[in-house]
Amino acid sequence: MMQNLLLAALLVSALPGNSRTTVTQQPWGETDDGASVTLYTLENNSLRVTLTSFGAHIVGIDAPDRSGNLAGVALGYDSLAGYQADTSTFIGGTIGRFGNRIAKGQFSIDGHSYQIPINNAPNALHGGPQGFDRKVWTGRPVPGGVEFSLVSPDGDMGFPGELTAYVTYTLVGSSLRIEYRATTTKPTIINMTNHAYFNLAGVGGSSVLNYVLTIDADHYTPVDSGLIPTGKVAPVDGTPFDFRKPTPIGSRIGATNEQLHLGHGYDHNFVLSSTISLDGLRRAAFVMDPYSGRTLTVTTTEPAVQLYTGNFLNGKFTGHNGDRYLFRSGFCLETQHYPDAPNHPNFPSTLLRPGDAYHSVTVYTFGVDNPADKPEETPGSNQ
């Protein structure tokens, strides 16, 4: 009977504003070391979102196109085995303690030096080889969503302090809200984000280069050959990094430009210029797929966003519907503080001290653009 109860879906009533959102859960296997993993589904009249306690991943997001047809717009895997096998793309994972890169994995706090294991030579990336995306979180259904919690011990991946972290996903209408919170027992650094890859056409292997992108950023942070910020905050004006007006992602990605060469395309931090609204969020980006009509709006409390155009996807991994994840078949908009911030005093601080609370919110809102007729062409081929 207990097994039947575990297999049965758990239906959770939502808040009044989320009255049509349901949350169900089911077992989703065990990790290689025997930890049980759960799959959660959030669903309402607008979206279907699946999440897993392994890495607090976004497994999938189903959103309608301009004709009302649902399709998956987030890259992911159909089984736990897929996530365990993929140790390089971070697809859909909750990233921590520190998202993006830290030069040589080194930083200091109050005169004490710390070393994160190198996993993106010569640097540390996304919290090291066993970051938050590789941990099994504790899930708890909440009205309209799921709260995941994790205790990261003092010294985990070289970071000081016992960190208690929470990430809560809530589905409200056509918006997926992600809220991060954390406290620490010792001074530490933190920069959490989600590494969702989006393909708005709903065709997992198709190119994202024809999507029309707007980023509300007047500046970006140039990088060196290791993709570490140089410390300079440069204007986007007159460069291929100017997305202040709607621009196809691929229109300038092949331009002769040192920064694009270093990143193998876009893999850069954009400094947001939009102001915080009354709800405490600022718009970071807006993306539209001309073929399906699907749109994505990203709002956040964070000061920056990383645009990554799937430059290192190479077809090695096969995800939903048997789709091979090919070169530039997914894009990321990772809200964040600046990469390598602990080593640049002019960047916004990522320091968290005992007694203080880390808090960050990002909202992905899906919609449709509705011209009279959709374009006749199919989703673009990879470039």
> Which of 110, 80, 114 has the alpha carbon at shortest distance from 97?
114
- List CB contacts of 42: < 8 A, sequence separation 6 or more: 21, 22, 23, 48, 49, 50, 51, 144, 145, 146, 169, 171, 176
Report the helix count and the strand count for the chain, using DSSP H and E: 3, 27
Computed on alpha carbons and rounded to an integer, the radius of gyration of the chain in Å comes to 20
Determine contact, residues 214/382, Cβ cutoff 8 Å.
Answer: no
Tell me the CA distances in angstroms from 361 to 44, 58, 281, 282, one per residue in order. 21, 16, 8, 10
Q: What is the dihedral of CA 40, 45, 47, 50, to 10 degrees?
A: 10
Backbone φ, ψ for residue 358 (5° rounding): -85, 135
Angle made by CA atoms 321, 327, 333, in degrees to the nearest 5: 85
Per the DSSP assignment, residues forming a β-bridge with 92 are none
**How many CA atoms are closer than 13 Å to the CA of 211, on its beta-carbon side?**
30
Determine contact, residues 13/143, Cβ cutoff 8 Å.
Answer: yes
How far is 91 from 97, CA to CA, in rounded Å? 17
Cβ-based burial of 16 (10 A; exposed 0-12, middle 13-18, buried ≥19): exposed
How far is 80 from 26, CA to CA, in rounded Å? 13
261 is catalytic: no
How far is 96 from 156, CA to CA, in rounded Å? 11
Count Cβ atoms below 10 Å from residue 252 Cβ, excluding itself.
Answer: 16
Per the DSSP assignment, residues forming a β-bridge with 8 are none
In which element (H, E) is residue 193 found?
A: strand 193-194
Q: Which residue has the tokens 């708005």?
A: 200
* DSSP strands (E only) in 314-353: 332-336, 351-352
Query: 57, 147, 302, 334: which one is catalytic?
Result: 334
334 is catalytic: yes
Query: 57, 126, 147, 195: which one is catalytic?
Result: 195
Cite the active site residues. Answer: 195, 334
